[in-house]
Amino acid sequence: MYPVIDMPLPEVYSVMPKPQKSLQFDADVVAKERQTWTRNWQSAVSR
């Protein structure tokens, strides 16, 4: 994740890998899958 503010970044940001592809989800897919994704996430973090 990269900041979007207009100011100098710490040196560490110059060595971070940059993603080749940004993932974007269609709003309909998110609406359809949100409950399942949330349930799966809750299950994973509560173990």
DSSP the chain: ----SSSPPPGGGGSSPPPSS-----HHHHHHHHHHHHHHHHHHHT-
Residue range 1-47, pLDDT digits in tens: 666 778 788 888 888 888 899 889 899 999 999 999 999 999 999 98
- Given this model, what pLDDT does residue 47 score? 84
Single pTM value for the model: 0.51
- Given this model, what pLDDT does residue 39 score? 98
